[in-house]
Amino acid sequence: MDAEPENPYQSPEAPLDSSVFPPYAPPSGPVSAGETAGSAGASAGEVTALGAALKHDAYGPLRIAAFRKYFFGNILSLVGMQMQATAVGWEVYEVTGDALSLAMVALAQIVPVLCLTLVAGQVADRFSRRRVICVAVSTVTLASALMAVNSLLWRDIGLLYGLLVLNGAGRAFQQPSKASYMPTLVPRLMFPNAVTWMTSGFQFATVIGPAVAGLLIAAAGGAFLIYALNAAAGITFVALLLTIPRTDAPRQIEPFSWGSLVAGYGFLRRKRVMYGAILLDMFAVLLGGANALLPIYAKDILEVGPQGLGWLRAAPAIGALATAIVVAHRPPMENAGRAMLVSVIIFGAATIAFGFSTSFALSLAMMFLMGVTDNVSVIVRHTLVQVLTPDAMRGRVSAINGMFIAMSNELGDVEAGVVAKLLGPVFSVVSGGIGTIVVAVIAAVIWPELRRYGKLGGEE
């Protein structure tokens, strides 16, 4: 008996559930003659499906109810988190006036991530990812609620650091489960576009969150309202998640062991394009990130206050959102590896210009350009990690990827704060931009496979 024809939208690792994925309705318009000829002998239904697959639909993922609920709930949660990140930086620097205290904010959040990442990846591959996300988001929500009480009553920075550790623990379990859950919500051929929509949502959140946070801090005279709003956003996200039908495909669960715990890293090492993309992005952000020092630039260098801080944090997100919108409306990126390398070099140059700038307008423009170029590497990296990883291992590989992201973001903030304390904020930012350019050149030499990698979503 012949095998049933494969659905061109169906991932081999994640069979589609008709209750979650309704019949796909392609955009209006005829299938081209070439597409019809290529489908000669196929049934009418197969031709329709093939035509839908070949015709790029920018809004395809948003037509799926499960993805839509997850997408909008995640955006709301991310807006709250971005508001909170702005509020924490402002409150700590307002109370202490010390650049090293900003480094401690990052350190308090990165330590639990580094300690729990491997376990979190194993949990994501062994249990319901939706339930793990709900528990992790609830943990972050509890930390935010307690931060609101602390900010309103005591403004105890030591207690704030402790609550940031709890926040980091929740994030450690949240990231790998979220990353490995999302591919089960959309068919495989839609996945690169789904990644673009998710990064668009993230960048939208990082535009709205800091800008709103700056206004609310100025209006309320403190950060307590921001923390409370983040807690409310987390509750809403969990409520939306609970309305999504089960989508986890049956997985072969390995016995818990040290070997299975570190299997994700071994898999990454064998995938040179993916491994090179992750390390390039990690070192670029580790060296070139200026976010931790934005409170110093806003208050002492540019003298624009909390409202200006909000816009400085929002500017790269606006640039990244512009990139995401353009990419979402185009077919998968060609020459993706080369595009990533070039974007990292431009990111480094923009970082150098920002470091020297004493003009608020120029600083905003450079932060915008940093966002444009950074999002290219984000889209490439996230797509590679999920498309090239089998579902049974996605949690552990996503955990390693998440650990690298945390190292680049949080340890980058620690590095920036320490260097700023010793040599000044301008030297910290400018030297980081130079280091980013050097890293991109080295990556192009060490991983020629990355330099030659072609269409995004294709095999290595």
Question: HSE (CB half, 13 Å, CA atoms) of 362?
Answer: 13
- Give the rounded percent of residues in the chain with a pLDDT score beyond 70: 83
pLDDT of residue 87: 92
Mean pLDDT of 225-231: 96
On average, the pLDDT of the chain sits at 80
Among candidate residues 52, 70, 81, the one with its CA nearest the CA of residue 144: 81
Radius of gyration of the chain (CA): 22
Q: Which domain holds residue 370?
A: 63-247+259-452
pLDDT band for position 25 (50/70/90)?
very low
pLDDT of residue 458: 57
Domain assignment of residue 34, yes or no? no
For the whole model, what pTM was predicted? Answer: 0.68
pLDDT at residue 8 tops 50: no
pLDDT band for position 260 (50/70/90)?
low
Domain assignment of residue 92, yes or no? yes
What is the DSSP secondary-structure string of 209-275?
Answer: HHHHHHHHHHHHTSSHHHHHHHHHHHHHHHHHHTTSPP-PPP--PPPP-HHHHSHHHHHHHH-HHHH
pLDDT digits (tens, 9 = 90+) for 277-335: 888 888 887 887 677 888 889 888 898 888 888 788 888 888 888 888 888 777 777 78
pLDDT of residue 56: 64
Mean pLDDT of 388-411: 76
Domain assignment of residue 163, yes or no? yes
Beta-strand (E) ranges in 132-231? none
CA distances from 211 to 106, 316, 350 (A): 21, 12, 21
Among candidate residues 455, 433, 435, the one with its CA nearest the CA of residue 338: 455
The number of helices, as runs of H, and strands, as runs of E, in the chain is 19, 0
Domain assignment of residue 69, yes or no? yes
Least confident of 99-108, 168-177, 409-418, 424-433: 409-418
CATH number for the domain that contains residue 119: 1.20.1250.20
Q: Based on the structure, what is the number of domains in the chain?
A: 1
Domain assignment of residue 114, yes or no? yes
What is the DSSP secondary-structure string of 205-221?
Answer: HHHHHHHHHHHHHHHHT
User: Do 413 and 105 contact (CB within 8 A), yes or no?
Assistant: yes
Domain assignment of residue 8, yes or no? no
pLDDT at residue 357 tops 80: yes
Q: How far apart are CA 156 and CA 88, in angstroms?
A: 12
Domain assignment of residue 56, yes or no? no
pLDDT band for position 20 (50/70/90)?
very low
pLDDT of residue 259: 66
Domain assignment of residue 459, yes or no? no
pLDDT of residue 247: 64
User: Do 52 and 26 contact (CB within 8 A), yes or no?
Assistant: yes
pLDDT digits (tens, 9 = 90+) for 27-46: 444 444 333 333 333 344 43
Q: How far apart are CA 285 and CA 422, in angstroms?
A: 20
Structure tokens at 319: 């640039």
The three-class DSSP label of residue 284 is helix
pLDDT band for position 22 (50/70/90)?
very low
Amino acid at 443: A
pLDDT of residue 291: 79
